[in-house]
Amino acid sequence: MSDANALEAEIVASVAAAADEASLETIRVAELGKKGRISELLKGLGKMSPDERRTEGPRLNGLRDRVQEAISARRETLADAGIAERLAAERLDVSLPVRPSPAAKGRIHPISQVIDEITAIFADMGFAVAEGPDIETDHYNFTALNFPEGHPAREMHDTFFLRADAAGERKLLRTHTSPVQIHTMERQKPPIRIVIPGKTYRQDSDATHSPMFHQVEGLVVDKTANVANMKWVLEEFCKAFFEVPSLNMRFRPSFFPFTEPSLEVDIQCDRSGAEVRFGEGNDWMEILGCGMVHPNVLRGVGLDPDEYQGFAWGMGIDRIAMLKYGMPDLRAFFDADVRWIEHYGFRPLDVPTLFGGLSA
């Protein structure tokens, strides 16, 4: 009896001293496992006489039960302590201010925002958005757009040419988004109404020019398209984009190889203050180029210029973004300065709409 009591006292003390569940499991296996000390004592009951079993059986079974209870109680205590420790480690100080969500912290780049604004305006007029490759052939970038041989735009000082391929053809980074007009007219029959926002590339870099910049062009091809239609579209766009109720526009003769007649457009503005204000004042600012699609361009895509005519226009997205939002230096658009994007960027959920406001 004294041996059993001593064994129980030893085991219970070991259980109470167990620091974690792994140590407790080691004790359980050592005492109650197949080869544990208590298990070995219980195996000896089979060799005892009936009288000895009547005495030793309850005593050994009671020892086993009490040890199991001690182990279970210690396991619960350790589990509770573990939960309390984890809660303390993962505790949050709810008195701190709430961290801003990604939607509140993030910012949309002004170029992306302005492209969305342009798309919203022209979509309301029934235009679709068209896209094309940044790497083009000489045919789509120049020849199909009525650029003659020897035109300055074909020279290395203005265009990024790539190395010649196995066939001797030198592709290039497109210098304007106009090649998309040709791709669209080749695969789509009139009527065509598209706008083409995208990246373009030219060898130029200063405060108002970048080797990679963004343009948006528009194209309308139909049997009845005319200069009056073009003027209305451009006037409505400028009023909506600069968010003014009215403004005067001035169309001046110009020259572009792919349009005839070609025109440059000035819009009314006031430069007397710290910022340019549109729709008021006595100054003028050139904003875009436009014109009627040249008959040679229509013939090149299989359209009869006696049956179809069209008009096109183009402008720099970076430039009109600078004018609208007062950004002084184009180079900052591409510097990846977090301070700049936090100042000039737009909240992700501020989606431009004509009824809700383009830049609200």
Q: Output the CA–CA distances (angstroms, integers) from residue 80 to 20, 21, 28, 75, 77, in the order listed.
A: 11, 11, 19, 9, 5
The pLDDT tens digits of the residues spanning 22-56 come to 787 787 777 777 777 777 677 776 677 777 777 76
Residue 252: the pLDDT is 94
Residue 296: the pLDDT is 95
Residue 18: the pLDDT is 80
The structural architecture, per CATH, of the domain 107-344 is 2-Layer Sandwich (3.30)
Residue 310: the pLDDT is 95
Please list the rounded mean pLDDT of every run of 10 residues in the chain (360 residues).
Answer: 68 78 78 74 72 72 77 83 85 78 83 92 94 93 87 72 84 93 95 95 75 93 95 94 90 93 92 81 90 95 94 93 85 86 84 71
Residue 207: the pLDDT is 65
Residue 360: the pLDDT is 59
Residue 144: the pLDDT is 93
Locate the domains of the chain by residue range: 2-89, 107-344
Rg, Å, the chain Cα set: 40
Q: Output the CA–CA distances (angstroms, integers) from residue 30 to 34, 125, 191, 351, in the order listed.
A: 9, 84, 89, 69
3-state secondary structure of 137: coil
